[in-house]
Amino acid sequence: MSTPHSEQATTKNSRTLTVTLLSFCIAVAVFLLLLGWKQWRQGGAAAQPYPPTAVAAMRVTPTNIPNSLHAVGSLRAVREVVLAPEVAGRVVSIGFDAGETVAAEQQLLQLYDAPEQADRAAALARVKLADAQLKRAARLVNSGAESREILDQRTAERDQALAAVKQLDARIAQKQIRAPFAGQLGIRQVDLGQYLNPGETIATLTDTSQLYVDFTVPQQELRWVQQGGKVQVVSDAWPDNSYTATVTTVEPRISADTRNIQIRAQLDNPGEHLRPGMFVNASLSLPEQKEQLVVPSTAIQTTAFGSNVLLVRGAEPEKAGQAEYVQVQISRRLKDQVVISSGLKVGDIVVTEGQLKVPPGAPVTVTKLRAAEES
């Protein structure tokens, strides 16, 4: 006789068996569907080849390209000095403001020179006395009352007195700091009443109307550099302005550390926008490169193994053919073009647009063909 407990257990086992069988049937059905879909796809792919992909291409032809040598240079003023006294003294007057533009020989600062001025006044008195004695001796010599020796002595005394005045004038001039040339002053480093020692900085004076451009080039490019050559200079601060500099000096020695050679060019700085100490991009014009193979930058695909381009191979590659990837070596990069040193030959058809969706060996149709000059 069955009990309610045994009937419940039997019902539970039946339900578990039913669920298990249903899950197995569903899994088998899914497996068969996936297997059939895979076979259908493989069969369809084998039956239907890739359709031709429309691309734009160019025929590789030799091209002459402008050539230039680029370097990073720095600017330096042709005329720039640190103003400093030659002698010690106390500052009694300052005749300039920081950043002021001054003229040549303009007095900028005065050191205390009262003792020298007093000595000069005494020296002038001695000159006056010596000159009077000289004139008196000359009259006496003419009358025969004095000897020629006395006249020579009085002449020497007068000359010594004049020399003493000149010496004092030089000492007084050392107490006056003047601008050696026209230019712009930097930050003032002294104050009124300050005692200055010889060589102590007062301010900098810079003439920015003309600047030097100093840069280096590799030793293998030395044959292209000569005095009088033109250099185009552009600064990041004024990217729309281009300045033309002239090579003035080629360092005779090559650096033992870098094997580079130092070049100096000079440029006019109208408007004085450029400043000493700026970094600039210097471009030295070189002879034109003849018959170079040039392709657009869009034709280059870069991978971990190098740079590649897609060529069209076939009987009439300028119209249609098979895609083939070849590795190339790039020698120079221009604005939107690259110069190829190896991997291409004249007449190759290079895909310039649409190559990203073309697998190797796939058929392509050239819908637009252009020459290298149009790229």
Q: HEC profile for 248-303? A: EEEEEEECCCCCEEEEEEEEECHHHCCCCCCEEEEEEEEEEEEEEEEEEHHHCEEE
Task: Give the residue carrying structure tokens 């003035």.
Answer: 248
CB 245 within 8 A of CB 209: no
Domain check: are 330 and 242 in the same one?
no
> pLDDT digit of tens for each residue in the chain (375 aa)?
445 444 554 555 556 656 566 666 676 666 666 666 565 555 544 444 668 888 889 999 888 887 778 899 999 999 999 999 999 999 999 999 999 999 999 999 999 999 999 999 999 999 999 999 888 888 887 877 777 788 888 889 999 999 999 999 999 999 999 999 999 999 999 999 999 999 999 999 999 999 999 999 988 888 888 888 899 999 999 999 999 999 999 999 999 898 899 999 999 999 899 999 999 999 987 777 888 888 998 889 888 888 999 999 999 898 999 989 999 998 878 778 888 989 999 999 999 988 888 888 889 888 888 765 555
Q: Please report the pLDDT score of residue 47 as a whole number.
A: 43
Asked whether the CA dihedral 327, 333, 334, 340 is positive or negative, the reply is: negative
Domain check: are 328 and 340 in the same one?
yes
- CB count in 10 Å sphere of residue 118: 11
Look at residues 289, 319, 352 and tell me which one is the last residue of a structural domain. 289
How many residues would you count in the chain?
A: 375
CB 337 within 8 A of CB 295: yes
Domain check: are 228 and 269 in the same one?
yes
CATH code, domain with 166: 1.10.287
Domain check: are 155 and 190 in the same one?
no
Q: Please report the pLDDT score of residue 42 as a whole number.
A: 56
Domain check: are 11 and 105 in the same one?
no
Look at residues 266, 289, 312 and tell me which one is the last residue of a structural domain. 289
Q: Which amino acid is at 261?
A: I
Separation between Cα atoms, residue 219 and residue 109, nearest integer Å: 48
Phi and psi (nearest 5°) for 365?
Answer: -120, 125
C-alpha distance from residue 167 to each of 130, 175, 198 (Å):
17, 13, 19
CB 227 within 8 A of CB 247: yes
- What distance lies between CA 56 and its chain's CA centroid? 37
User: Which domain range does residue 353 map to?
Assistant: 53-65+290-374
Domain check: are 190 and 214 in the same one?
no
Domain check: are 215 and 249 in the same one?
yes
- CB count in 10 Å sphere of residue 21: 10
Look at residues 289, 319, 351 and tell me which one is the last residue of a structural domain. 289
Q: Please report the pLDDT score of residue 30 as a whole number.
A: 62
Distant-in-sequence, close-in-space partners of 130: CB < 8 Å, separation ≥ 6: 154, 157, 158, 160, 161
- CB count in 10 Å sphere of residue 42: 10
Q: Please report the pLDDT score of residue 141 as a whole number.
A: 79
Residue 85 DSSP symbol: -
Domain check: are 301 and 342 in the same one?
yes
Structural domains of the chain, count: 5
Domain check: are 274 and 237 in the same one?
yes
Domain check: are 104 and 57 in the same one?
no
Q: Please report the pLDDT score of residue 45 as a whole number.
A: 45
Domain check: are 301 and 366 in the same one?
yes
Separation between Cα atoms, residue 346 and residue 218, nearest integer Å: 31
Q: Please report the pLDDT score of residue 221 as a whole number.
A: 81
Task: Give the residue carrying structure tokens 């009124």.
Answer: 192
pTM above 0.75, yes or no: no
- CB count in 10 Å sphere of residue 348: 21
Q: Which amino acid is at 137?
A: A
Q: Please report the pLDDT score of residue 1 as a whole number.
A: 45
Domain check: are 187 and 225 in the same one?
no
Separation between Cα atoms, residue 206 and residue 236, nearest integer Å: 22
